[in-house]
Amino acid sequence: MKLKKITLREIHLPLIAPFETSFGQTSLRRILLVETDVDGVTGWGESTAGEDPYYSYETVETAWHIIRDFLWPILKGREFRSASEVWDLLARVRGHNMAKGGLETAIWDAEAKQKNLPLAKLLGGVREEIPCGVSIGIQPTIDALIAKVEKELAAGYQRIKIKIKPGKDVEPARALRERFPRIRLMVDANSAYRLEDTPLLKQLDAFYLIMIEQPLGWDDIYSHAQLQRQLETPICLDECIHDIEHARAAIEIGACRIINIKLGRVGGHTAARRIHDLCQTKSIPVWCGGMLESGIGRAHNIAMSTLANFTLPGDVSASRRYWDEDIIEPEVEVTRQGTIRVPSAPGIGYKPRIDRIDALTRRLEVLE
């Protein structure tokens, strides 16, 4: 296989409602789409780099720069046997996993299309339907939060995650537990706390949450091990896990009992699959996180979530929760049982709507 051409596009897509986390608020997504031509077959990927370097150090600008100036020169004219080799070819570039992930996933889509296989099958997925949860941003009031949760439960979602930050943590969790004693509930702090906050975090044990996601520093695995020893609730790491060595360290020192895998954060399908396999041998369940992706990134998340150890509902939910109109056809829909049926068409299985993508494009660059 040979990569002949890359088309980078930045699209602007407004969320139907602002999304608030402990690190900030987003209302307009700037999304970097990567279209690849591999031996004449088109593949699509999405970099999950954000507008600001607040979740990770990468941004749309850095991802564009790294793909154009470093990743493309490595792959240009290079022969490889399959998309599964691309991650290792790019290893000389340290970090910048969201840049790598956008490009690498597009090549996987192209390979699946060349082979006329759904991407989920090419990756080795075993599921025809994936279980879905939702991630609910920080709300202005507890009543507003309860109303949101009611709506998502009515739509069928199998677990509820709420974002927390100092001052909006124990009370919202308590209120939800009182109102919904039996639901699968969890919280995500996006690194808003410090080890000194252990007494506060221990109060969350009273609400039998299925997990607390990333309470401490974004790159601080060690403190999570210290915290986990004092908490009954399992810790799930998100921001801290950039590669398989981080995952191994976190598991071996007891920093978490669950891992959230995001394609962007770990650099694409090959890296994600390696972390998935390691977790499986260590009996650590994983689930697929979300980064407010457009339909293209969402489709890749769905394919990845079909791997056997994705046993917990992820943050992959219906297009209509994010956008007036998505950029793929059909849109991602969720069943009454809170699942997504994995598409059976080749590649990512959803068609990019080129007209709509063109209309949303603010910047375009072709590398060939």
The site partner of 44 among Mg ion, ligand OSB, none (C-beta below 5 to 8 Å per kind) is: none
The site partner of 291 among Mg ion, ligand OSB, none (C-beta below 5 to 8 Å per kind) is: ligand OSB
CA torsion, points 165, 166, 168, 173, in degrees to nearest 10? 80
Q: Is 165 a catalytic residue?
A: no
Say which of 100, 113, 161, 163 is annotated catalytic: 163
Determine contact, residues 363/312, Cβ cutoff 8 Å: no
Residue facing ligand OSB at closest CB distance: 290
Tell me how far, at minimum, the Cβ of 284 lies from Mg ion, in Å: 16
The site partner of 290 among ligand OSB, Mg ion, none (C-beta below 5 to 8 Å per kind) is: ligand OSB
Pairing of strands 159-163, 133-136: parallel
Pick the closer one to ligand OSB by CB: 110 or 291. 291
Q: Which of 100, 109, 105, 32 is nearest to 67 (CA)?
A: 100
Tell me how far, at minimum, the Cβ of 17 lies from ligand OSB, in Å: 12
Pick the closer one to Mg ion by CB: 57 or 325. 57
Applying CB under 5 A, the residues found at the interface with Mg ion are 188, 213, 238
The site partner of 135 among ligand OSB, Mg ion, none (C-beta below 5 to 8 Å per kind) is: ligand OSB
Tell me how far, at minimum, the Cβ of 11 lies from ligand OSB, in Å: 16
Tell me how far, at minimum, the Cβ of 334 lies from ligand OSB, in Å: 12
Give 288-306 as a DSSP string.
E---S--HHHHHHHHHHTT
Number of Cβ within 10 Å of residue 247's Cβ equals 27
Tell me how far, at minimum, the Cβ of 27 lies from ligand OSB, in Å: 13
Q: Is 121 a catalytic residue?
A: no
The site partner of 55 among Mg ion, ligand OSB, none (C-beta below 5 to 8 Å per kind) is: ligand OSB
Q: What's the distance, Cα to Cα, between the start and end of the chain in Å?
A: 15
Pick the closer one to ligand OSB by CB: 107 or 286. 286
Q: Which of 353, 325, 301, 285 is nearest to 135 (CA)?
A: 301
Q: Computed from CA positions of residues 59, 118, 328, 359, in that sequence, does the dihedral angle turn out positive or negative? A: positive
Tell me how far, at minimum, the Cβ of 190 lies from ligand OSB, in Å: 5
The tokens describing 228, both together, are 């986990």
Tell me how far, at minimum, the Cβ of 91 lies from ligand OSB, in Å: 25
Residue facing Mg ion at closest CB distance: 238
Distance between CA atoms of 103 and 288, rounded to whole angstroms? 19
Pick the closer one to ligand OSB by CB: 169 or 238. 238
Applying CB under 6 A, the residues found at the interface with ligand OSB are 55, 135, 188, 190, 238, 289-292, 315
Pick the closer one to Mg ion by CB: 19 or 108. 19
Say which of 100, 113, 168, 262 is annotated catalytic: 262
Pairing of strands 328-329, 351-352: antiparallel
Distance between CA atoms of 247 and 196, rounded to whole angstroms? 24
Pairing of strands 133-136, 129-131: unpaired
Distance between CA atoms of 169 and 232, rounded to whole angstroms? 17
Pairing of strands 3-21, 361-367: antiparallel
Determine contact, residues 20/138, Cβ cutoff 8 Å: yes
**Tokens 């969320």 correspond to what residue?**
15
Pick the closer one to ligand OSB by CB: 111 or 238. 238
| 284 φ, ψ (degrees, to nearest 5) | -105, 115
Pick the closer one to Mg ion by CB: 56 or 84. 56
Catalytic residues: 163, 262
